[in-house]
Every structure is written in structure tokens, then in C-alpha cells.
């Protein structure tokens, strides 16, 4: 599987006095494995967990620093949680994401009381008649879709001078570490929601950088899978050859668990044909503590030299990679006419990510 991994050290946001509440702060940085172990040990119910996350969305996203990462909370989430609690009590709990609260980027269809808007006012009352493939797989895996996340409107495919993380429906998404800094788009809401502990994992979409960039800027983990590994049916499209959904979370293991729950062949997306017989339903078996050993990692040298603080972090990262067995290779920026840019008559070339 070809994938782009954004492996970021997870930390508590710097404005933690605002983000950490005295009643629910224990849930911060909880992993899927820890969450489900708590269910088994009857430390809390799924309903308890869903309420905590919904309360955090209200406290942090809407009322507190107003991160604007969430467009809408699922009004049916408490009832879904109760149903899953009954399954847990009856010994019918199954699925790798059972009882896990998930946020979906709002260009991914859900057949419920939440519209799918892509952040655009034109779609404010657009209610899909069926679940997207991603939403269907999440429900089958036992996950609870608790909210739809904000995004760069139309997944950042609306203007040459669009603002990362801004939409007409949700406003400007804000980076939870530094509120006036770029959260990066277009899956900005998904990245911020995970980073601020408003959900356990989230789903983003990427055409060109829209999973890995917000994962980087909000210090989480994101995977852009190979196109065709996860179906795009029910997702508002940009590019047939580049679009893909992908998981975003706080740990590599959580993201690997979520990835396995989403794979599969879908007759509605011909790109998934190429993944038949190749996709996995459990990627955790590939996780290795010595996974960097023998890997060759490219370093774009010209990207450095603009900030002493950033360069210091980069040099520490390079040292860490080498210490753990990776070979770091300095590379030049790819050359080619109009590489990474759109040519628009009357306008200078500008790069754009979706």
C-alpha cells in the first residue's frame, strides 16, 4: 500500500487552560484500545462517552475559544449510543470501532438528520438519501458519527485566493494551538476536532494535501491512502484520479485501526477494483516499533532556512530519524513547467490544495 503518513508527536494544546475542563479532561488523549477496555471493565458507558464529547464540542468549539471545527452535531448520537450500550450488555458488541465517536468531514454523505453541505450555503438543506460508503463502513464497524466537521468550502476548490479552513456555513476554523494561525485545509475541521479532543478519530478527504496538511498543522496523525483503497462513493468530488478519504487521529495505531475498517471493494467506485485481493481489514499487524529502520526519507533542503525555530525542530527530527535507523536523503524540489500550479488567463500561477 502506498500511503503518505504524517506522524506527529501528540501534545496537549498550548492554551490548555481554555481547552481542559475539570469534569471531562480525563478523556483527553484516550486511545481506541483504552476506550474499549473501559467499556469492557464497565468504567463508563458508550452514552457517557458520547455525552462527554458532545459537551466538549459545546464548551470548546462553540462557546469557549470557538474553534469552529464542527458544522453540526448529530442529534441522533445519544440514541445511537443507547442502542450500542444495549448491544454491549447483550454481548453483541462487534466491530473494530465499536463505541468510538467519529467526526466526518462535511463533504461526506450521511443518511440522517445532518445535511452534507461541503461548507456551502447552496447545500445548507441538502440531505442525502443514502449513506456514503465511508459512513456505511463506519456504522458497520460500530462507530458513532457524532458530528460533521467544517472544511475549506468545496474542499478548497472554489477560488484561487480561498482561505484555509473557511466556509460559508461554518466560518473560519481555528488552530487549537494558536488560535490565529492556519489550521490548514481542506480537512481543517477534522484535524482540529481530533487535536482538541472533540472526538476520538475523524475522517478527512484529500486531493492534494488536505489530510496531511491539517494533520501537520494540528499535530495529529493522518493517512492519505492510495486512491482506490477506500471508496469515494457519496463524497462530493474534485478529481477522479486523486480524491480519497482517509483517517485522522492522535496515534498511529488509532489511524491504522480506522483505516482497516474503511477498506473494501465498492461497485460504485471503479477505482476500488485495483484494491481487490490487496486491501487489508487490519493494518495494526504492520505496526512496528523499529519501523524506521532501513527506510529512506527525503528531505527537501530548500524548505529550510526561513525560521530558526522551525529549522531547530527539523534538525531534531532528522537526528531522531537517523537514530532510529532511517536514511535521510537531501533532495531538490521537482522541476517541470507549471509544476504544482494552475494556469489561469489573466492571473499569475497559484498553487491550490483540496
Say which of 149, 210, 231, 275 is annotated catalytic: 210
DSSP string over 212-228 = HHHHHHTT-EEEEPPTT
pLDDT per position as a tens digit, 296-348: 999 998 889 999 999 999 999 999 999 999 999 999 877 766 665 555 444 44
Annotated catalytic residue, options 47, 105, 167, 215:
105
**Residue 284: how many CB atoms within 10 A of its CB?**
17
Pairing of strands 296-300, 221-224: unpaired
The domains of the chain, with CATH numbers, are: 4-286 (3.90.1300.10), 291-354 (no CATH)
If residue 133 lies in a helix (H) or strand (E), which one and from where to where?
helix 133-140
pLDDT digits 0-9 by tens, 109-153: 999 999 999 999 999 999 999 999 999 999 999 999 999 999 999
**What is 42-94 written as a DSSP string?**
TSS-HHHHHHHHHHHIIIIIIISS----EEEE-TTHHHHHHHHHHHHHTT---
Residue 150 to residue 141: CA distance in whole angstroms: 24
Q: Is 295 a catalytic residue?
A: no
Average pLDDT over residues 100-104: 98
Q: Which residue has the higher pLDDT, 3 or 161?
A: 161
Catalytic residue (one of 149, 186, 187, 231)? 186
Q: 353 falls in which pLDDT band (50, 70, 90)?
A: low
Q: In this structure, are strands 221-224 and 4-6 parallel, antiparallel, or unpaired? A: antiparallel
195 catalytically annotated: no
pTM of the shown model: 0.88
SS3 27: helix
β-bridge mates for residue 72, sequence order: 148
CA dist list (Å): 311 to 140, 178, 275, 327: 44, 19, 39, 19
Q: Is the dihedral of CA 20, 21, 22, 28 positive or negative?
A: negative
186 is catalytic: yes
Of residues 340 and 294, more confidence is placed in: 294
* Per-residue pLDDT tens over the stretch 259-291: 999 999 999 999 999 999 999 999 999 999 999
* Mean pLDDT of all residues in 11-25: 48
Amino acid at each position: 500500500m502506498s500511503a503518505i503518513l504524517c506522524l506527529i508527536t501528540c501534545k496537549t494544546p498550548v492554551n490548555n487552560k481554555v481547552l481542559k475542563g475539570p469534569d471531562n479532561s480525563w478523556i483527553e488523549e484516550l486511545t481506541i484500545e483504552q476506550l474499549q477496555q473501559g467499556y469492557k471493565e464497565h468504567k463508563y458507558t458508550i452514552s457517557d462517552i458520547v455525552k462527554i464529547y458532545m459537551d466538549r464540542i459545546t464548551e470548546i468549539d462553540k462557546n469557549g475559544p470557538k474553534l469552529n471545527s464542527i458544522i453540526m452535531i448529530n442529534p441522533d448520537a445519544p440514541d445511537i449510543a443507547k442502542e450500542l450500550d444495549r448491544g454491549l450488555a447483550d454481548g453483541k458488541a462487534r466491530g473494530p470501532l465499536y463505541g468510538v465517536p467519529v467526526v466526518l468531514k462535511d463533504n461526506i454523505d450521511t443518511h440522517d438528520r445532518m445535511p452534507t453541505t461541503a461548507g456551502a450555503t447552496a447545500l445548507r438543506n441538502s440531505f442525502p438519501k443514502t449513506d456514503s460508503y465511508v459512513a456505511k463502513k463506519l456504522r458497520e464497524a460500530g462507530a458513532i458519527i457524532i458530528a460533521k466537521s467544517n472544511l475549506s468550502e468545496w474542499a478548497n476548490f472554489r477560488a484561487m485566493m480561498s482561505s484555509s479552513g473557511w466556509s460559508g456555513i461554518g466560518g473560519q476554523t481555528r488552530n487549537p494551538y494558536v488560535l490565529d494561525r492556519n489550521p490548514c485545509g481542506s480537512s481543517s475541521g477534522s484535524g482540529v476536532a481530533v487535536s482538541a479532543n472533540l472526538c476520538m478519530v475523524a475522517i478527512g478527504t484529500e486531493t492534494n494535501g488536505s489530510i496531511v496538511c491539517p494533520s501537520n498543522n494540528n499535530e495529529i496523525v493522518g493517512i492519505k491512502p492510495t486512491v482506490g483503497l477506500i471508496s469515494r462513493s457519496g463524497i462530493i468530488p474534485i478529481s477522479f484520479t486523486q480524491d480519497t478519504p482517509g483517517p485522522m487521529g492522535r496515534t498511529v495505531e488509532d489511524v491504522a485501526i480506522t483505516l482497516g475498517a474503511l477498506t473494501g471493494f465498492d461497485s460504485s467506485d471503479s477505482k476500488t477494483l485495483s484494491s481487490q485481493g490487496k486491501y487489508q481489514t487490519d493494518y495494526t499487524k504492520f505496526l512496528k516499533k523499529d519501523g524506521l529502520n532501513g527506510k529512506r526519507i527525503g528531505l527537501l533542503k530548500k524548505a529550510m532556512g526561513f525560521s530558526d525555530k522551525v529549522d531547530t525542530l527539523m534538525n531534531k527530527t532528522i537526528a531522531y530519524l537517523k537514530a532510529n535507523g532511517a536514511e535521510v536523503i537531501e533532495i531538490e524540489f521537482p522541476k517541470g513547467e507549471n509544476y504544482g500550479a494552475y494556469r489561469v488567463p489573466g492571473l499569475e500561477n497559484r498553487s491550490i490544495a483540496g
